[in-house]
Amino acid sequence: DAGITQSPRHKVTETGTPVTLRCHQTENHRYMYWYRQDPGHGLRLIHYSYGVKDTDKGEVSDGYSVSRSKTEDFLLTLESATSSQTSVYFCAIGDRTGLSGNTIYFGEGSWLTVV
Amino acid sequence: QQQVKQSPQSLIVQKGGISIINCAYENTAFDYFPWYQQFPGKGPALLIAIRPDVSEKKEGRFTISFNKSAKQFSLHIMDSQPGDSATYFCAASNGGSQGNLIFGKGTKLSVKP
């Protein structure tokens, strides 16, 4: 594994409640990403970060916010969870250097169910 | 222009056969094309990647073929094994500041004994 820890790994929550997923890396990579994976949709980028306090939206950012106060931690928050946010969430890291500059490495995933 | 189209959605191959997964892209600025392999319950892992200055890259039983003029690239798995059964994702990006990977929707490969 690429030194990425996601927590929690599994969570069941109720509609309307806030949820925060945490990604912690030990690789000191500059870039961190949050993806969601759903059947038939593949991997879709939610938000990404290119440095401490530097974040940007991805393809499916509505309903999600992120924060990065330290190089090693990237938090994904669902302010008010909805059933459509039931998904598997993957954190990924990368440093965009060298010949494999755009390679990213994924964590093990966080399974979120909103009931 | 940002899409990466992957086919087939699912693939069943006999042990020892060749598995072929295809991807097509539209953005001519893309210059990095990786393939990821994902086993159930796990995160995707980089399998092999290619840049457009070469037409083919081989690593063991896995080969990427790249056709720049057709804007297509494919993954070939030779001598497919049951342990290769997984979901495979192609992806593409450019090297600029907005160079996030764009993923295909995935191909579920089943290799029958």
CB pair distance less than 8 Å for B100 and A58? yes
Distances from the Cα of A36 to the Cα of A96, B10, B76, B86, B103, angstroms: 21, 20, 27, 18, 12
Tell me the CB-side half-sphere exposure of residue A98, using CA atoms within 13 A.
5
Match 């959605």 to its residue by tokens: B9
Of residues B36, B41, B99, nearest to A102 (C-beta)? B99
DSSP B1: -
Residue A2 has pLDDT above 70, yes or no: no
Query: What band does B95 get if pLDDT is binned at 50, 70 and 90?
Result: low
pLDDT at residue B52, as a whole number:
86
Average pLDDT of the residues of chain A: 93
CB pair distance less than 8 Å for A90 and B43? yes
Query: What band does A96 get if pLDDT is binned at 50, 70 and 90?
Result: confident
Which of A30, A38, A43 has the highest number of chain B CBs within 10 A, making it the mutation to test binding with B?
Answer: A43
Expressed in angstroms, the distance from the first to the final Cα of chain B is 40
Q: Which residue of A has its CA nearest to B10?
A: A40
Closest CA to B103 of A8, A67, A92, A49: A92
Which residues in chain A are contacts of B45 at CB distance < 8 A? Answer: 105-106
Mean pLDDT to the nearest integer, A55-81: 96
Which residues in chain B are contacts of A90 at CB distance < 8 A? Answer: 43-44
- Minimum distance, in Å, between the CA of residue A16 and any CA atom of chain B: 27
Average pLDDT of the residues of chain B: 93
Residue A91 has pLDDT above 80, yes or no: yes
Closest CA to A62 of A84, A41, A38: A84
CB pair distance less than 8 Å for B44 and A108? no
Residue A100 has pLDDT above 60, yes or no: no
Specify the 3-state DSSP secondary structure of B83.
helix
Chain B residues within 8 A (CB-CB) of chain A? 6, 32, 34, 36, 41-46, 49, 51, 89, 93, 95, 97, 99-101, 103-106
Higher-scoring residue by pLDDT: A39, A110: A110
